[in-house]
Amino acid sequence: MQKQLKTVITYGTFDLFHIGHLNILKRAKMLGDRLIVGISTDTFNLQKNKKTVIPYSERAEIISHLRFVDQVIPESCWEQKHKDIIQHNVDIFVMGHDWEGKFDSLSALCNVKYLPRTKGISTTKIKSSLKQHKEPQVSKLVAFSH
């Protein structure tokens, strides 16, 4: 009797890929046998009011090359999860716990799990530390030129 393969799905922007993204994808995969990742398109990110640095094509390419990711699909709207779960025969839907409760309606279709976020890292944090890093140089240059 062949073991029923368990399919896990998760969604995200995954801009400026960092350890927090890696951790949630790794842990999502550990919950099943196959991991599908829905990656927010550039257009959908505008709807999410998220300005991304890395374009969709490159974010998808990076994630698709992770050995524990089996499939990447575009996420172009909030509402597609329901269809995706049915179409891909998903058993478990995973998100970081910053989304706690937001997708509970999907529990009618599959197991919904919110996993703890990785502390101390976020795309926003990376962007702001890059900005600070840039400013001192500019101010040094300005000071020097007077």
Active site members: 48, 50
Annotate each residue in 22-41 with x if it binds ligand C2G (CB under 6 A) or - if it does not, as one string.
Answer: --x---------------x-
Closest C-alpha to 90, from 113, 65, 123, 74: 113
Q: Which of 6, 26, 113, 117 binds ligand C2G (CB under 6 A)?
A: 117
Question: What is the Cβ-side half-sphere exposure of residue 81, based on CA atoms within 13 angstroms?
Answer: 23
Q: Is 98 in the site for ligand C2G (CB under 6 A)?
A: yes
Options 7, 8, 21, 90; binder of ligand C2G; rule CB under 6 A: 21
Q: Least CB distance from residue 131 to ligand C2G, whole Å? A: 18
Q: Which of 7, 75, 85, 92 binds ligand C2G (CB under 6 A)?
A: 75
Does 121 participate in binding ligand C2G (rule CB under 6 A)? yes
**CA–CA distance, 82 with 73 (Å, rounded to integer):** 14
Q: What are the C-alpha distances in Å from 127 to residues 14, 105, 118, 141? A: 13, 33, 17, 22
Residue nearer to ligand C2G on the CB measure, 127 or 140: 127
Q: Round to whole Å and give the CA distance between 51 and 21.
A: 17
